[in-house]
């Protein structure tokens, strides 16, 4: 998204704006030491856990995990798009968003929103008047939906035929182009045609209520049964949730959300008064979904079929949820009886019984260990060893804190080993190096990878970047996660030495890297600010050592030393000298 506005302009805006002014105009902040606090605007709480840092230009809620820059705050609180949020911040500091000619300006999205609204009106009108519409109405009534709930969710009907929508909306080539951009028209050699035909239409809205795409359910023999809009400038199915806008409209404050599979599940639950259901759009739950949901409600329930496919999908959701699991946030898993889905079950047993099922859903901690133990005999030593081996890397993904400590404690009980024997480090709650000021935050774990630690420190303190020039850059050749991002961060900071933390993060827009960087910014460093430089250099030194080990093993790992070329022998000797190590036994590198 950031590509629509020059990154340098976003840097300029964020260097002039003060996040304290932005948030204090909407939420009453009070000073607490160097930072400011308030009760979180994104979840109900009595004790303030929402903290805003003027130094970092970043907010973070220790209760629900919401966090971000001034841009992210406006997007969530005012329900603005990225470009609109930057524009609003620019207005606050007296800047005008540059409108360069050509592609640099970026597309004007307002006509696309208008085109989708026109299409939605057409589909609603067709549901009332088209000769084939009674089939759609009969289907919806057969699923138990009332006219009121269908109207609230804006349901419509795309009639049979190849050019109904085009004939009504496409008065000129510009309109046709917009219909193509919105995914309402499809193209094949020599012709254009309506993408949605003979389908019940479900408008998909963004958090502000604007239509960004459609889902269509066939009522004839066509395939696929459900068809979503393709990826467009407005619609990114891996990040959107059907029903989020409707839930926020019905319930001003969401205490929980339940993730279901389909459009009709969301609507049927809403009709029965369960107004906190949402659906992913033909994809598994993604980190982008959970990033948004974590700001929406403190409790997230996943609802799955009870068959093997449902349990496999639940396993994937669990893995996605682990990096978001912490005290104050709850994930649960509900498995329905075989052959049932939320739509059929709530109609069969009613709101009270279905709500009771939600209340009895399995917590993440129970599902985590039950899934790992399912095919292991934990009565045997071998089974317990395999359980420990399987659990260790997964627990490393859980943010340090009370919740992770409790998971580790449960693992020690199951396998009969101490925490240190499991290689999971000391308890975050008892670490002697943890300062009182950081007790409520996530502390950087001592066994975190050197690359991740270096990235976290750069995000916390961009001024550390020039220190990298004091170290060899061998680490850039490492084949491991995080190296490319670390290199890119250093290059960005070298080119923009005065860039702020907030502006640095916004360079990655709303993608997975931005999610990762924002999460790292909530970590509390293992040392005070005065020790960050030494910690950063130490991380780079460990990376260089890892590279030397990697290359030394590669070069020395031949069956016969004579296979090394003269150049490879020279490289190996240099690596050994840098690391002050002796040549491997039997290796002559002279």
The CATH number assigned to the domain holding 196 equals 3.90.980.10
Q: Give tens-digit pLDDT for 143-162.
A: 999 999 999 999 999 999 99
Residue 78 shares a structural domain with residue 120: no
Residue 26's CB: how many other CB atoms inside 10 A?
Answer: 13
**Where does residue 34 rank: exposed (0-12), middle (13-18), buried (19+ CB within 10 A)?**
exposed
User: C-alpha distances in angstroms, 402 versus 255, 408, 410, 492?
Assistant: 21, 10, 12, 35
Residue 192 shares a structural domain with residue 257: no
Task: Considering only CA atoms, give the Rg of the chain.
Answer: 27
CATH number of 380's domain: 1.20.50.20
Mean pLDDT of all residues in 369-382 = 86
Cβ neighbours of residue 305 under 8 Å, at least 6 residues apart?
A: 335, 336, 338, 340, 341
In a 3-state reduction of DSSP, which class is residue 123? helix
CATH number of 536's domain: 1.10.860.10
Domain span at residue 279? Answer: 244-370
**Where does residue 496 rank: exposed (0-12), middle (13-18), buried (19+ CB within 10 A)?**
middle
The reply to whether 206 falls in a domain is yes
The reply to whether 509 falls in a domain is yes
Mean pLDDT of all residues in 228-240 = 92
Concatenate the DSSP letters of all residues of 349-368 into one string. Answer: HHHHHHHHHHHTPEEHHHHH
Looking at 337-412, which runs of residues are DSSP E strands? 362-363
Residue 69 shares a structural domain with residue 129: no
- Domain end: 59, 81, 105, which one? 105
- Domain end: 370, 400, 420, which one? 370
The reply to whether 444 falls in a domain is no
User: C-alpha distances in angstroms, 517 versus 10, 290, 452, 508, 551?
Assistant: 17, 15, 10, 9, 29
Give the Cα separation of 389 and 449 in Å (integer).
19
Residue 570 shares a structural domain with residue 455: yes
Residue 358 shares a structural domain with residue 248: yes
The reply to whether 440 falls in a domain is no
For residue 205 the two structure tokens come to: 């809205």
- Domain end: 228, 259, 274, which one? 228
CATH number of 298's domain: 3.40.1360.10
CATH number of 15's domain: 3.90.580.10
pLDDT of residue 436: 32
Q: Answer for the pair 364, 320: CB distance below 8 angstroms, yes or no.
A: no
Give the Cα separation of 364 and 389 in Å (integer).
19
Q: Give tens-digit pLDDT for 324-370.
A: 898 778 999 999 998 899 999 999 999 999 999 999 999 999 999 99
Q: Answer for the pair 196, 227: CB distance below 8 angstroms, yes or no.
A: yes
Q: Answer for the pair 310, 335: CB distance below 8 angstroms, yes or no.
A: yes
Residue 347 shares a structural domain with residue 380: no
In a 3-state reduction of DSSP, which class is residue 583? coil
Give the Cα separation of 18 and 477 in Å (integer).
39
The reply to whether 586 falls in a domain is no
510 against 338, higher pLDDT: 338
Residue 454 shares a structural domain with residue 548: yes
Q: What is the DSSP letter of 242?
A: B
Closest C-alpha to 550, from 494, 496, 475, 492: 475
pLDDT of residue 207: 81
Mean pLDDT of all residues in 373-395 = 87
Closest C-alpha to 285, from 252, 333, 251: 333
Give the Cα separation of 72 and 82 in Å (integer).
8
The reply to whether 234 falls in a domain is no
Residue 458 shares a structural domain with residue 539: yes
How many alpha carbons lie under 13 Å from residue 324 in its C-beta half-sphere? 30
- Model confidence pTM above 0.75: no
Concatenate the DSSP letters of all residues of 429-458 into one string. Answer: TT-TT--GGGTTSEEPPTTS-HHHHHHHHH
Q: Give tens-digit pLDDT for 178-219.
A: 999 999 999 988 889 999 999 999 999 988 789 999 999 999
267 against 44, higher pLDDT: 267
Give the Cα separation of 239 and 283 in Å (integer).
10
Find the range with the poorest average confidence among 224-228, 300-304, 395-399.
395-399
Residue 486 shares a structural domain with residue 402: no
pLDDT of residue 423: 63
Most confident of 111-125, 380-394, 427-441: 111-125
The reply to whether 438 falls in a domain is no
41 band by pLDDT with thresholds 50, 70 and 90: confident
> How many independent structural domains does the chain possess?
5
Q: Label each residue of 30-65 as H, E or C.
A: EEECCEEEECCCCCCCCCCCEEEECCCCEEEECCCC
Q: Answer for the pair 378, 387: CB distance below 8 angstroms, yes or no.
A: yes
The reply to whether 239 falls in a domain is no
Residue 123 shares a structural domain with residue 141: yes
Closest C-alpha to 20, from 11, 12, 29: 29
Q: CB under 8 Å, gap of 24 or more: what pairs does 487-491 form?
A: 489/455, 489/458, 489/459, 489/465, 490/458, 490/465
pLDDT of residue 472: 84
Residue 132 shares a structural domain with residue 191: yes
Residue 541 shares a structural domain with residue 569: yes
């Amino acid at each position: 998204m950031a590509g629509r506005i020059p990154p340098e302009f976003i840097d300029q805006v964020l260097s002039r704006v003060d996040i304290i002014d932005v948030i204090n105009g909407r939420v009453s902040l009070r000073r607490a030491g160097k930072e400011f606090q308030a009760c979180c605007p994104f979840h109900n709480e009595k004790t303030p856990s929402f903290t805003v840092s003027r130094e970092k230009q970043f907010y973070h809620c220790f209760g629900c995990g919401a966090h971000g820059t001034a841009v992210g705050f406006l997007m969530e609180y005012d329900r603005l798009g990225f470009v609109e949020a930057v524009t609003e911040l620019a207005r606050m500091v007296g800047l005008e968003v540059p409108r360069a000619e050509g592609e640099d300006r970026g597309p004007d999205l307002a006509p696309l929103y208008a085109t989708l609204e026109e299409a939605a009106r057409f589909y609603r009108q067709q549901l009332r008047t088209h000769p084939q519409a009674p089939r759609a109405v009969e289907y919806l009534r057969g699923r138990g939906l009332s006219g009121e709930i269908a109207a609230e969710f804006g349901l419509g009907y795309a009639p049979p035929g190849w050019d109904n929508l085009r004939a009504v909306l496409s008065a000129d080539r510009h309109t046709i182009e917009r219909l193509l951009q919105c995914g309402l028209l499809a193209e094949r050699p020599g012709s254009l045609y309506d993408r949605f035909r003979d389908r019940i239409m479900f408008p998909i809205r963004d958090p502000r209520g604007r239509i960004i795409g459609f889902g269509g359910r066939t009522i004839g023999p066509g395939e696929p049964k459900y068809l979503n809009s393709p990826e467009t400038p407005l619609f990114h199915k891996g990040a959107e949730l059907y029903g989020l806008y409707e839930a926020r409209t019905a319930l001003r404050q969401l205490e929980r959300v339940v993730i279901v599979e389909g459009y009709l599940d969301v609507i049927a639950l809403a009709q029965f008064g369960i107004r906190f259901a949402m659906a992913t759009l033909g994809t598994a739950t993604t980190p982008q979904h959970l990033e948004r949901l974590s700001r929406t409600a403190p409790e997230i329930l996943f609802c799955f079929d009870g068959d093997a496919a449902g349990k496999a999908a639940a396993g994937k959701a669990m893995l996605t949820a682990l990096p978001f699991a912490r005290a104050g946030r709850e994930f649960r898993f509900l498995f329905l009886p075989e052959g049932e889905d939320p739509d059929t079950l709530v109609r069969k047993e009613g709101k009270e019984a279905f709500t009771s099922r939600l209340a009895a859903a399995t917590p993440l901690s129970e599902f985590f260990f039950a899934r790992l133990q399912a095919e292991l005999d934990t009565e045997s030593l071998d089974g317990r060893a395999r359980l420990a081996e399987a659990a260790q890397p997964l627990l490393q993904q859980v943010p340090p804190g009370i919740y992770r400590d409790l998971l580790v404690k449960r693992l020690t009980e199951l396998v009969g080993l101490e925490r240190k024997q499991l290689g999971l480090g000391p308890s975050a709650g008892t670490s002697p190096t943890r300062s009182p000021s950081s007790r409520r935050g996530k502390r950087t774990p001592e066994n975190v990878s050197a690359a991740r630690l270096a990235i976290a420190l750069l995000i916390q303190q961009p001024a550390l970047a020039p220190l990298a020039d004091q170290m060899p850059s061998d680490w850039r050749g490492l084949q491991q996660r995080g190296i490319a991002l670390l290199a890119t961060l250093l290059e960005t900071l070298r080119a923009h030495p005065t860039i702020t933390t907030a502006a640095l993060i916004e360079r990655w827009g709303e993608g997975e890297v931005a999610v990762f960087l924002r999460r790292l910014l909530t970590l509390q460093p293992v040392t005070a600010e005065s020790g960050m430089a030494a910690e950063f250099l130490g991380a780079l030194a460990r990376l260089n050592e890892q590279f030397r080990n990697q290359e030394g093993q590669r070069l020395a790992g031949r069956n016969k030393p004579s296979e090394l070329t003269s150049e490879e022998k020279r490289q190996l000797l240099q690596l050994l000298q840098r690391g002050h190590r002796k040549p491997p036994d039997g290796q002559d590198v002279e």
